[in-house]
Structure 1
Amino acid sequence: MNLFKRFLLLIISYVFAAIPIYASDFQADYDTQYAISPSGTTIVTQNVTLTNKQSNLYPKQYTVSIDSDQIKNVIAYDSKGVITPKVSQKDKKTEISVTFNDQVVGIDKKLLFSLRYENGDIAKKLGNIWEVRVPGVTSDSTLGEYSVSLQTPSTFPQNAYMTPLPGTGARWNKNQLINGGINAAYGEYQSYIVDIIYPLVNDSLTSVVQSVAIPPDTTYQSVTIATIDPKPIDIKKDEDGNWIASFTIPANGRIDIKTQLIIKTYIKPLPQSQKQLLNTSSYLKQQTYWETNNEKIQEYAKKYTTPRAIYDFVIQTLTYNYGQITSTPVRKGALGALANPTNSLCTEFTDLFIAISRAAGIPAREVVGYAYTNDSRLRPLLVGSDILHAWPEYYDKASSRWIPIDPTWGFTTGGINYFDIFDFNHIAFVIHGLSSELPYPAGSFREGSLPQKNISVRFSESTTIVTKDTYTTVFDLPKQITAGKTLKGTVQVNNSGGKQIERMDVNVVATPYAFQIQKVGEHIPPFGSISIPISIKLPILLHKSQGIIDITINGEHASFQYEILPTYWIYGVIGCFLIALLLIVWTFIQNK
């Protein structure tokens, strides 16, 4: 279904006494102009030309139904002057009817008229971003030329994306708009404030360590932990890139982990997201819900061999079931989606894409998170205590990046391109690659069966984020050691800030006893750490000495000094040897 049916359904009515006529008796050509004001109100001007295909007919009335109740200040006119329109609104729709002043009779004769109104739903400011959605058109034999122009104010920020791009003369034509409308956004990034509560319960008689997944940095997402209470023991990054935070839960106790995140989403991929995928085979394996080895999935994988072909197949095969989103859905997996394609949700669109992609040799995985929507029909979510959404990613070898796509919204929006261009509205909570189910996303932690609201997301137009890396260095080494032994321990670098350290170059050098170790390009998640093992073999010494371990982190220096005690047992050996030697000499002299 395309956007023209949703937003701008054109109904042309012709009234003649005792003469039955049809829309096919006329051809309609449209020149539609969208002019967006700085406030976002859009002035829509439709210049319409109706061409008679019969010699004895003429159009008398025109009716347009617009899928919006934000329509006002409607005016209309034809060659004979102003037309007083009839405007009615019901069920969030607006119907405009005009009766023409002019009567044009004769084959190939043309009736020209214009309709102008203000539409408050074309452009919306969401946080830092202006979103623009212009409806498309249906393929109809009575539709002749259809041309659209779009004008935005100079106060708008830089265009982030626009799909499709305009054709000749900075205008869109009918062929472009039949596949969906115009989807555009203006701004550099979107900024969200996300509050999450993780209720952790321990029913055992001893304290335990439990872990939760904190929304991580991704290809198009940057996360700063503004606050987290209590502080985690540590945060580690798993192979999928999830930030796994660990907490100690006392015996028979409960802790509510409360965190506030500043999350920025981008259209351009972040530089640090470019990484070579070393464990490709892990993202080709069969998992629960991803029945890669199934014969039917294998057949589709032979037919659809590229991510785009698989994306198109999924959209053309599955149908979104809006009736399920208010209930507790059961995840069906890829085979379940194929068995019942009209009963699908975002999980089925995602699972089917991943299963076929993996069978075709394309690394793929699932992302579960939050997706902002102001239209539950066009961009639906799973409705529950906390609104979640799922979408797939595939690994692109050419760019060395994971690329997110959204076949669910590609279907529900009637053709908006969620393959080549993503948007600012998706926030990743967890990534499922090595497992199709773990780790659990924020919003899935519950105490009891009652619904709970544990996630809050709001826009933040002015966000201050400290970008300077903050870290501490801890030397876990003995301050004294006896010569001849091996100095063993670790140097631990702790990220004491809420922002991931994207690149940390570490160089450890020991003097005067040779030891060196380097770590280049280390990533440390917020409140995480890296541990560098130290092992220095010390020589035998008969005197006190000192050793120094220097560590250089991104050009900044720290050092640790330790004392080397002499090897006293050697003094004993030498003393015994000298005493023995004196006894031998004394005995020799006495015998003389």
Structure 2
Amino acid sequence: MKYDYKRRHLRAGLAVFFGIVLIFLAIPWHTQASTEFNYDVNSVYIVNSDSSTRVEESYTVSNNADNKYLDSIQLSTPVEDTKNISVEYTDGTSIPFTVEKKTADNQGYNYEYSEISIKFSRRNVGRNSHWGFVVSYDTNKLIETKGSAHTFNIPSVPQENGSDYSVEIVVPENFGTLHTTGTRPIKIGTKKGQTRYKFENKQQLKKSILLVFGDSTLYEVNYNFPLKNDSSFGSTFTVTLPPNTSGQQVIVQQLDPQPKSTSLDPDGNILADYDVPPRTNITVKTNIIGIVSYLDYNLNASGTKAEIPKDLVARYTKPQQYWPSDNPQIMNKARELTADKKTVAEQVRAINNYVVDTLSYNNEKIKYNIRQGGLKALQNPSNAVCLEYSDLSISLLRAAGIPSRMPIGYGYSGSLKQSNSVSDSLHSWVQAYVPGIGWMNVDPTWSEKFNNFGSSDLDHFAFAIWGVNDSRPAPVMRNGGDINYQYEATTISYRSTPPVLQPQSQLSVNKWLVLPFIALTKYDIQAPTDTAGDNYVLRTRQGSRVDVADLGSLAPKQKITRWSAVIGSTAFGSLNADFTQNGNNSLVLASTKVSSVGWPMWLVIGLLTGIIIWRVVRSNLKRKPTSSEEIAKPITAPIPTIQNNQTENEPKNEKRAKK
């Protein structure tokens, strides 16, 4: 199926809508009015090492009427694979129930759940009477295992007066560090390898909370980029590979066939160039591992706008087609939102809150989506998907003088993912630069569901970053133009163990003596084969002299050449060269030692000598006589000419004979 290029970023945004639906289904539905009964609910989720979960929900019912009792109730679970279900009064007496598997449909997406219908056999009558029952079941679908990480969605609960809710979670101790998008539960303690956490009241669960156990997860991405050259001329195709970010490390395990060259663009995207002959089709196959780390940003470390580097301001606050930061309406709104905020983090939060409160997600838009841009999103707030949330946020941030850009990529949407193709879950979000923190991920679309500001979760994996340009680089480009490839043949999965990195770099050095005490050196460098990196350094040692050249950021297998000249006695000695990262000698990627090659010097000396001799000889050949040379010449007297009166017609010899 072919997707519209702009449409591909919308799929993950639907997770917000359906997540809200599932939250609603998880709340008990009562046959009587809520004013007649109050419910105190304590839910306990006991998670096993294989992520299977035992759910125990204890209900305490309080009767607010004199002559009414609770006859029946229907409870809808957030999963459909409920098994080993039991319903009992608190004294252990069984309560009859039935279970029905149901399917709900919305906008073409189906999800399944179990509905438990309970018929109470006891008639508990009387105002202020209290009684209880317990519902228990097993499920394998409450915990999402994502490689080495585990996530658990705690649904929001009703906030009406008279009822209360508490939630306890028991997980294996080896699940690792707990991160959360909202209120952090209290850690009760660890016993027999199990750690117990608790949310004590409903105020802590006003919004859904995503619990993440583990510091990182591993994505395995397989792109299949089609390079189709149907023309009669050769073409250069460029494929875009994911960038490294503060929370994402990319390892390129396979890139087949090998590209002509690789490079990094200003946003850090890896670009691989291929020359494709006329009438030729090539499929570039990749295997990429993405290590995504959970980040909790220290918002208290935020600086002010005066501390933002000027080069970032110049590059990432410019207006673009979809980010009209110079529009008066956008500028006025940005000024209004940030006027009383001192730090950049406070300003980013204010803009994010405004976008979340102003825009409404339109599920219908996926059918006909056309990217509107920030201004139209502001003017038509009810017709938004993730692109509009991102475009409006970036427009306002740039208008406020805050560098910002847009990652596009994969947004995990759980059971909503309908196929193996990643195009079902493409998403866009925002990165804002905060001094003291760096580039900070902000997802205004998902903020409607989770209070995720100030953290970067494990559910986002950037395929590319748009910053210098608001719609480039595209996944595949031909001679710089977008061919409208939409990741249709891309698959993504999780893996539990990271690959063993064996970076292979190359460093070749040639040092030539060109004149006595003058040497010229050429360095040919190839970056590590499997990952892009920053802060690469070339360190050289010649005698007591040490030189360090900053090479900056390099793409996997990127090739560069550097030259240097040495004047002095060290020109004759050997040279030690190290290709390192971060300027740390412990991270030497490649090294070599070479001695000066003397034949160029003798060649140069020979040439210079020949030139000098030739010029001397040539000069001597062209020299004019000097005055001294003229004086030295012998003086020869001229022979006088004898004049006579012979006629011109008479031969001289005949005249001599007559005499």
Task: Determine the structure 2 residue equivalent to 1:47.
Answer: 58
Q: Distance in 1 between matches of 2:30 and 2:428?
A: 41
Question: Structure 1 pair 450/421, CA: closer, same or farther in 2 (3 Å)?
Answer: closer
Question: Structure 1 pair 117/550, CA: closer, same or farther in 2 (3 Å)?
Answer: closer
- Deviation at 1:360? 1.6
Q: 2:259 aligns with which of 204, 223, 232?
A: 232
- Deviation at 1:546? 5.6
- Deviation at 1:370? 1.9
Question: Per-residue displacement from partner, 1:432-463 (whole Å, max 9, x unpaired)?
Answer: 11110111036999999998833121222234
Q: Distance in 1 between matches of 2:357 and 2:262?
A: 41
Task: Determine the structure 2 residue equivalent to 1:25.
Answer: 36
Question: Structure 1 pair 384/552, CA: closer, same or farther in 2 (3 Å)?
Answer: closer
Query: Which structure has the highest helix share of the two?
Result: 2
Matches within 5 A, 1:129-528: 129-141=149-161, 143-161=162-180, 163-167=182-186, 170-202=197-229, 205-268=232-295, 278-305=311-338, 306-325=347-366, 327=367, 329-376=369-416, 387-399=425-437, 401-411=438-448, 415-441=449-475, 453-468=488-503, 470-475=504-509, 481=514, 490-508=522-540, 517-520=547-550, 522-528=552-558
Q: Is the 2:312–2:403 Cα contact (8 Å) retained in structure 1? A: no
Question: Per-residue displacement from partner, 1:194-233 (whole Å, max 9, x unpaired)?
Answer: 1112222445554343322211211111111112122222
For 1:181, the aligned partner's letter is S
Question: Per-residue displacement from partner, 1:257-281 (whole Å, max 9, x unpaired)?
Answer: 22221221111489xxxx9673322
- Deviation at 1:56? 2.8
**Higher RCO, 1 vs 2 (CA within 8 Å, ≥6 residues apart):** 2
- Which has the higher mean CA deviation after the structures are superposed, 517-526 or 122-131? 517-526
- Deviation at 1:118? 2.3
- Deviation at 1:573? 7.0
Give the 3-state SS of the residue equivalent to 2:601 in structure 1. strand
Q: Distance in 1 between matches of 2:547 and 2:273?
A: 28
Q: Is the 1:475–1:560 Cα contact (8 Å) retained in structure 2? A: no
Q: Does 1:75 align with 2:66?
A: no
Q: Distance in 2 between matches of 1:408 and 1:380?
A: 20
Q: Distance in 1 between matches of 2:520 and 2:279?
A: 38
Q: Is the 1:546–1:564 Cα contact (8 Å) retained in structure 2? A: no
Task: Determine the structure 2 residue equivalent to 1:18.
Answer: none
Q: 1:558 aligns with which of 589, 593, 598?
A: 593
Q: Distance in 2 between matches of 1:522 and 1:293?
A: 32
Task: Determine the structure 2 residue equivalent to 1:89.
Answer: 101
For 1:403, the aligned partner's letter is M
- Deviation at 1:158? 3.8
Question: Identity percentage over the alignment?
Answer: 23
Q: Distance in 1 between matches of 2:180 and 2:63?
A: 40
- Which has the higher mean CA deviation after the structures are superposed, 212-221 or 558-567? 558-567
Question: Structure 1 pair 394/560, CA: closer, same or farther in 2 (3 Å)?
Answer: farther
Q: Is the 1:467–1:499 Cα contact (8 Å) retained in structure 2? A: no
Q: Distance in 2 between matches of 1:442 and 1:211?
A: 6
For 1:260, the aligned partner's letter is N
Question: Per-residue displacement from partner, 1:127-166 (whole Å, max 9, x unpaired)?
Answer: 222111122212323x422111111123534435463201
For 1:152, the aligned partner's letter is V
For 1:226, the aligned partner's letter is Q
Q: Is the 1:524–1:530 Cα contact (8 Å) retained in structure 2? A: no
Q: Distance in 2 between matches of 1:386 and 1:178?
A: 30
For 2:529, the aligned partner's letter is G
What is the TM-score normalised by the length of structure 1? 0.83
Q: Distance in 2 between matches of 1:3 and 1:172?
A: 22
Question: Structure 1 pair 577/300, CA: closer, same or farther in 2 (3 Å)?
Answer: closer
Task: Determine the structure 2 residue equivalent to 1:6.
Answer: 24
Question: Structure 1 pair 358/135, CA: closer, same or farther in 2 (3 Å)?
Answer: same
Give the 3-state SS of the residue equivalent to 1:280 in structure 2. helix
Question: Structure 1 pair 233/560, CA: closer, same or farther in 2 (3 Å)?
Answer: farther
Question: Per-residue displacement from partner, 1:455-491 (whole Å, max 9, x unpaired)?
Answer: 12122223423144x22123477x574679x876742
Structure whose CA Rg is larger: 2
Q: Distance in 1 between matches of 2:174 and 2:566?
A: 63
Question: Structure 1 pair 4/261, CA: closer, same or farther in 2 (3 Å)?
Answer: closer
Give the 3-state SS of the residue equivalent to 2:172 in structure 1. coil
Task: Determine the structure 2 residue equivalent to 1:102.
Answer: 122
For 2:415, the aligned partner's letter is D
Q: Is the 2:55–2:138 Cα contact (8 Å) retained in structure 1? A: yes
Task: Determine the structure 1 residue equivalent to 2:13.
Answer: none
Q: For structure 1, which runs of at least 5 residues remain unmatched after alignment?
A: 15-21, 540-544
Question: Per-residue displacement from partner, 1:59-96 (whole Å, max 9, x unpaired)?
Answer: 23222122321222222222562212222221123222
Q: For structure 2, which runs of at least 5 residues remain unmatched after alignment?
A: 1-16, 104-111, 189-196, 298-307, 339-346, 586-590, 634-659
For 2:100, the aligned partner's letter is S
Question: Per-residue displacement from partner, 1:316-354 (whole Å, max 9, x unpaired)?
Answer: 2222222333x4521111122223322222111110111
The CA RMSD measured in Å over matched residues stands at 4.0
What is the TM-score normalised by the length of structure 2? 0.75
Q: Is the 2:243–2:463 Cα contact (8 Å) retained in structure 1? A: yes
Give the 3-state SS of the residue equivalent to 2:355 in structure 1. helix
Task: Determine the structure 2 residue equivalent to 1:19.
Answer: none
For 1:100, the aligned partner's letter is F
Q: Is the 1:56–1:105 Cα contact (8 Å) retained in structure 2? A: yes
Q: Distance in 2 between matches of 1:380 and 1:353?
A: 29
Q: Is the 2:81–2:139 Cα contact (8 Å) retained in structure 1? A: yes
Question: Per-residue displacement from partner, 1:499-558 (whole Å, max 9, x unpaired)?
Answer: 22444331346689x9x752247332211133323245799xxxxx96755433335333
Q: Is the 1:191–1:265 Cα contact (8 Å) retained in structure 2? A: yes
Question: Structure 1 pair 386/375, CA: closer, same or farther in 2 (3 Å)?
Answer: closer
Task: Determine the structure 2 residue equivalent to 1:17.
Answer: none
Q: 1:114 aligns with which of 122, 134, 138?
A: 134
Matched residue count: 560
Q: Distance in 2 between matches of 1:9 and 1:79?
A: 20
Question: Structure 1 pair 561/168, CA: closer, same or farther in 2 (3 Å)?
Answer: closer
For 2:378, the aligned partner's letter is L
Q: Is the 1:228–1:258 Cα contact (8 Å) retained in structure 2? A: yes
Question: Structure 1 pair 339/375, CA: closer, same or farther in 2 (3 Å)?
Answer: farther
Q: Distance in 1 between matches of 2:484 and 2:182?
A: 44
Q: Distance in 2 between matches of 1:366 and 1:511?
A: 49
- Which has the higher mean CA deviation after the structures are superposed, 216-225 or 453-462? 453-462
Q: Is the 2:238–2:477 Cα contact (8 Å) retained in structure 1? A: no
For 1:154, the aligned partner's letter is E
Question: Structure 1 pair 161/174, CA: closer, same or farther in 2 (3 Å)?
Answer: closer
